Structure 1
Amino acid sequence: MANDEYGSRPRPRRKTFLIIALGLPGLLGLLAVLYSIGALEGNTPSLGPKNYRANVDCQVNAAGSQGTVTISGTITGDATRYSVTVEVLDAASHQRVGLQTFEVRGTKTFGGTSAAQTPIGPAGIECKITKVA
C-alpha cells in the first residue's frame, strides 16, 4: 500500500489561507505602528532618545482670581520635531498652576499664553520642562 495515489492528499489551499489569514493582520499592524511614530509622513524620527538642549522662561500676570502665564522657550538638538511639555508651579507651595504642551517643528523656539489657576502666592511661579518627546 505504499506509494499508492489513493486516499486524500493534503490541501495546499488550507496552508495558503492560513498564511494569508495570519500575515495580513501582521502587515496591517506594522503599518499602523509606522504611521503612529511618523515614519510614513516622510520625516522618519529616531526611535532612540533625542539629544536636545532646552530652556524655558515664564512670566505671570495675575489680577485677582484671574491670571495668565506667558511661556517662552528654546530647544536645539538633532531632531526635526519635538513635543515639549511645560509645567508651571507656584514657587512657594509647588502646586501646579498651569500645564501646556508645544509641538515644535522646523524652528527652535516655542511659546504661548495660557490661563493660570490662581491664586498665585507672593513668591511667584516656577516653570520647568517635564517631558520632551
Structure 2
Amino acid sequence: MPTHEWTLADDRYGRGGPRKPRKTLIIALVLSGAVALLVVLRLLVPGLFGEGVPQLGHKTYTARADCQMSTSGNSGTVTINGTISGDSSRFTVTVEVLDAATKQRLAEQTFEVRDTTTFGGTTAVQASAGPDGIECRIAKVV
C-alpha cells in the first residue's frame, strides 16, 4: 500500500498566497494627498492658519493716549485722553496706567470708540504712583 508523506512546509502567507499590501498603499496615498493639500493651501492662503495675512476683525490703526493723575493720600483718579484713527469706524481700546518706575499696573480702562477719533474718561486708582509718576500705554485694540 502506498504511503503518502505530508510535510508541513513554511507557509508564511497562509492560504491564497502572498497578500497584496493594497490597504497600506491606499492609506499612504491618502495621507500624502492630505499633507500636499495642506501645503498648497498654506502657500496660496497665508492667513488660513493664523499667520501672515490679518484674521477677520483685524484693524489697522494709529493710537495715542495721555494720562494725568490726581492723588489724595493712597488713592486718586486718572484722567485718560486719547486719539485713534484707522481703517474702521469702531474700536475697543484698553488703556493701562502703570507706575513709571516699577511698571506695576495701577488702573485699566476700556473705551468703546464709535464714529469718532477721540476717547477719554477717568478711572479710580487704589495706589499712589512712585516718584517717577505714571505711564499710559495702550494694552489692546480690537
- TM-score, structure 1 as length reference: 0.64
> Of the candidates 117, 121, 136, which is equivalent to residue 127 of structure 1?
136
State the alpha-carbon separation in 2 of the partners of residues 84 and 48 from structure 1.
14
Task: After superposing the two structures, state which structure 1 stretch, 107-116 or 47-56, moved more.
Answer: 47-56
Between the aligned partners of 2:93 and 2:75, the Cα distance in structure 1 is: 25
Alignment of 1:83 onto 2:92:
yes
- How far did 1:66 drift? 1.9
The aligned counterpart of 1:104 is 113
Distance across 2 between alignment mates of 1:119 and 1:132: 27
Residues 15-34 of structure 1 correspond to what in structure 2 (within 5 A)?
Answer: none
- Hey, what's the Cα distance between the residues in 1 that align with 2:128 and 2:69? 11
The percentage of counterpart residues that share the same residue type is 61
Larger of the two Rg values belongs to structure: 2
Matched, 1:62 2:71: yes
Gaps of 5+ in 2: 1-54
| CA apart distance, 1:48 | 4.4
Alignment partners' CA distance in 2, 1:82 and 1:48 = 10
In the other structure, the counterpart of 2:59 is 50
Specify the alignment match of 1:18 in structure 2.
none
Distance across 1 between alignment mates of 2:137 and 2:62: 13
Number of aligned positions between the proteins: 88
- The aligned amino acid for 1:84 is V
Unaligned runs of 5+ in 1: 1-45
Counterpart of 1:88, as a letter, is V
Separation of aligned partners in 2, 1:74 and 1:119: 26
Q: How far is 1:78 from its partner?
A: 0.8
Residues of 2 paired with 1:63 and 1:112: CA distance?
Answer: 19
Counterpart of 1:13 in structure 2 is none
